[in-house]
Structure 1
Amino acid sequence: MLFLCAKIHYNNANEGDHMKRNIKDIHRIIIKVGSTSLCDTNGKINKEKILKIISQIATLKRQGYTVVLVSSGAIAAGMGKLGLESKPTTLPQKQALAAIGQAKLMEIYEEFFKIFDMKCSQILLNHDDFDDRKRLNNLNYTINALLDYDVVPIINENDALAVEEIKFGDNDTLASLLVPVIEAELLILVSDIDGLYTANPKIDKNATLISYVPKITKEVMRYAGDTSSNLGTGGMATKLKAARMVNDYGSHMCIVNGEKANSILNALKDEGTWFNGNGGKNLNAREHWLVYRSNAKGSIIVDEGCKKALVRKHVSLLPSGIIDVEGQFLSGQVVNIIDENKKTIGKGVVNYASDEIRLIKGFNTSEIENILHYKDYDEVIHANNMYITYEK
């Protein structure tokens, strides 16, 4: 269906993508630049490429936009610093290169930002910074303070300390998680591909570029394939997941090719693939945090009757509908809500710890105090602290 839509668009070229790209309400833009857009063919940092990116950021700022930059490239910069010809494979080696390269990368950024009379700053993050609400608020305050000082924050994953449990895995995801934090209306992913195609253009010569995606559907996800670069970690499937996260907050996303002249500026016109922000779920900040930015500490398994009530009526989760508990967690932490077939129903913030829920599961609310010798809440998870993700 989307392919047909794309074909119709191309057959009516007079309409133009810019007629569909609603940019009048865009004030804050996050630009994510991948390693392939910063490096040469040998995987070393290419200063000319970085200069072109900063030049476009300067133009956007002169036009009145607020810009935040999410930049990969620390490991590549480390490789160049040590004269390595290939990317190492072990985590400690990558962490060491990131530690070496991050300093070099920021040195280059500061040098080029000065040319355009701009200031920049560095922020290194891990997923835990989004998972903890207090740290997330502090991140929000820090970024907004930097923007008030007219400083461009340059954000990257803290690869020097990252382990599998806390890694984002790619900066596409990191950038999409930042959208609600700074209330950005647009995320531009600068990559080594023109945008989303109906097939992998490196394999299928008949692949067609899709310029406008009104809504991310299962058909759209099938177009992702498994395309990825040797330098970067985020393939097209990762970019589509990022687009869904951005669109669900009501913001737009655009994929452009960094090799094309002024591709970042032209994203506001007709460049690349534009993912419409009005096609998502329009989650508020708290709902978006629950669904995407919080790590579940365990799971609560509910029976079929409870599942139907949660999905159809969005009621609070009471102990009577709980069958079992998986994992160890404390009151106030986020958990997954799953059915008997282990299918995820939603996520929520629990009012009781895992050990307490194991004692009261299957019982009525009126029996909580007799079992625990106290009762602070009737609900294990209140409806206001829950988001249902289940789709039939």
Structure 2
Amino acid sequence: MSWREELKNSKRIVIKVGTSTLTYTNGQVNLQRVERLVREMADLHNRGLEVLLVSSGAIGVGANRMGFKKIPRTMPEKQALAAIGQGALMHLYEKLFAEYGKTVAQVLLTRGDLDERLRYLNATNALLAILGMDVIPVINENDTVVVEEIKFGDNDTLSAMVASLADADLLIILSDVDGFYDSDPRSNPEACLLHEIYEVTDVMEDNSRSRGSSFASGGMYTKLKAAKISMASGVPMVIANSDTPDVIRKIVGGEEIGTLFIPREEKMHARKKWIAFGTVTQGEIFVDAGAEQALLKRGKSSCLRV
């Protein structure tokens, strides 16, 4: 069975919606698109699947409400706009999902929530409890209180972290691009869309450092970072264009939509996932050749010489 066919068996799905998907280029909310995506997610839920929504847009919505033409640079201003926009964003989701009889729950996370093992487990248990109540969690970074040192940096990374800690079967990242190309399609009309990727290389990352829209924080580079986390966690990830009709249904149905990042065959142990992706990196560790072999080849810990 192909990996596309395997996606049909997904039971727990994380869907990340970016600012470029939620809003028009002028910052106004794209109600038609949001309504369509909410309907698709509600229909998945009706089928008995578990859906977790990771949504950007709080700062963008707040900026638009306050009449800003672009996102300010200072952290206090961003935090103020996040506080303004998050409530408006949740109100929109609550209203739209309620039309289909669905209940949503707001979950705001910071990197610090995943850095400590106990808080990581608490976050996991809280998400599982929400899903157990047949509720759809709407997850965002807690931009109002987060400081630079403990930011995820973008919701692409956050969505991959959520897929990892929730042990999801599929991560879908919806954006304004059709998937990952071998070169930038905006500057190269002959760029080729890659339908499957087995490894994210340094060359791919180096060629993907362009940003998104003026109201977005990400771009293809952050999506590749998310793909590395997702693939290492054993979770397949698809990047697709939110403008594609029935995009979520088609992906879950195994159709060749967007770019599929193929995960490792064996999922990492929960504690190893936390060590690899949950903890905030501080300092450096230098290992000798013997320790390198033990860590990479035999999956064992070793005495490290700092």
Query: Normalized against structure 2, the TM-score is what?
Result: 0.91
Number of the residue aligned with 1:296: 281
Report the equivalent of 1:362. Answer: none
Q: Would the alpha carbon gap of residues 301 and 72 (structure 1) be closer, same or farther in structure 2, given more than 3 Å must change?
A: same
1:285 alignment partner, one of 264, 270, 293: 270
Task: From the CA coordinates, give the structure whose radius of gyration is larger.
Answer: 1
1:272 is matched with 258
Could you say what secondary structure the match of 1:88 adopts? coil
Partners of 1:111 and 1:313 in 2: how far apart?
A: 51
**SS of 1:229 mapped into structure 2:** coil
Q: For the Cα contact (< 8 Å) 1:77–1:104, is it kept in 2? A: yes
Q: Distance between the aligned counterparts of 1:70 and 1:118, measured in 2?
A: 16
Residue 110 of structure 1, aligned match among 62, 81, 94: 94
Query: Which of these residues, 163, 188, 210, is aligned with residue 194 of structure 2?
Result: 210
Bigger relative contact order, structure 1 or 2, given CA contacts below 8 A and separation 6+? 2
Residue 225 (structure 1) shift: 5.0
Contact 2:294 2:302 in 1 (8 A): no
Decide whether the 8 Å contact of 1:198 with 1:207 is kept in 2: yes
Aligned position for 1:242: 226
Q: CA RMSD in A?
A: 2.3
Equivalent residues of 2:18, 2:55 under 8 A apart: yes
Where in structure 2 are there 5+ consecutive unaligned residues? none
Farther off after superposition, 144-153 or 40-49: 40-49
3-state secondary structure, aligned to 2:149: coil
Instruction: Give the AA of the match of 1:214.
Output: Y
- 2 CA distance for matches of 1:48 and 1:307? 52
2 CA distance for matches of 1:280 and 1:221?
Answer: 23
**Does 1:166 find its partner at 2:150?**
yes
1:146-165 deviation line (CA, Å, top 9, x unaligned)? 11111100000001112110
Residues 285 and 93 (structure 1), Cα distance of their counterparts in 2 relative to 1, 3 Å cut: same
Segment drifting more, 285-294 vs 92-101: 285-294
1:222: Cα distance to partner? 5.5
Code of the residue aligned with 1:289 in structure 2: it is W
Taking structure 1 as the reference length, the TM-score comes to: 0.72
Partner of 2:56: 72
Label 1:198 to 1:192 Cα distance change in 2 as closer, same or farther (>3 A): same
Contact conserved, 1:200 with 1:227, CA < 8 A, in 2?
Answer: no
- Alpha-carbon deviation of 1:171? 0.2
CA distance in 1, matches of 2:297, 2:32: 55
For residue 25 of structure 1, report the CA deviation from its aligned partner. 3.2
CA shift for structure 1 position 309: 5.9
The residue correspondences of 1:68-217 to structure 2 (distance < 5 A) are 68-217=52-201
1:200 alignment partner AA: D
| Alpha-carbon shift at residue 220 of structure 1 (Å) | 4.7
Shift of 1:312: 5.8
C-alpha distance after superposition, 1:232-262 (max 9, x if no partner): 2121121112111111111110011112222
Tell me by how many angstroms 1:297 deviates: 3.8
Provide structure 1 residue ranges, at least 5 long, that are not aligned to the other structure.
1-16, 325-392
Relative to structure 1, is the Cα distance of residues 83 and 290 closer, same or farther in structure 2, using a 3 angstrom cutoff? same
Instruction: Show the counterpart of 1:336.
Output: none
Determine if contact 2:130/2:137 at 8 Å carries over to the other structure. yes
Q: What is the SS of the residue equivalent to 1:267?
A: helix
Kept in 2: contact 1:249–1:285 (CA 8 A): no
Which whole-Å CA distance do the structure 2 matches of 1:59 and 1:26 have between them? 14
Deviation (angstroms), 1:69:
0.2
Per the alignment, residue 45 of structure 2 pairs with: 61
Gap change, CA 1:261 and 1:295, over 3 Å in 2: same
Per-residue deviation, residues 126-170 of structure 1 (Å, max 9, x unmatched)? 001111111111111111111111110000000111211010000
Amino acid of the residue matched to residue 293 of structure 1? G
Tell me if structure 1 keeps the 8 A contact 2:240–2:257: yes
Kindly state the Cα deviation for residue 218 of structure 1 after the two structures are TM-superposed. 4.6
Please give the secondary structure, in 2, of the residue aligned with 1:287.
Answer: helix
Q: Distance in 2 between matches of 1:241 and 1:41?
A: 25
Distance (Å, rounded) in 2 between the aligned partners of 1:309 and 1:148: 40
Cα offset for 1:71? Answer: 0.3
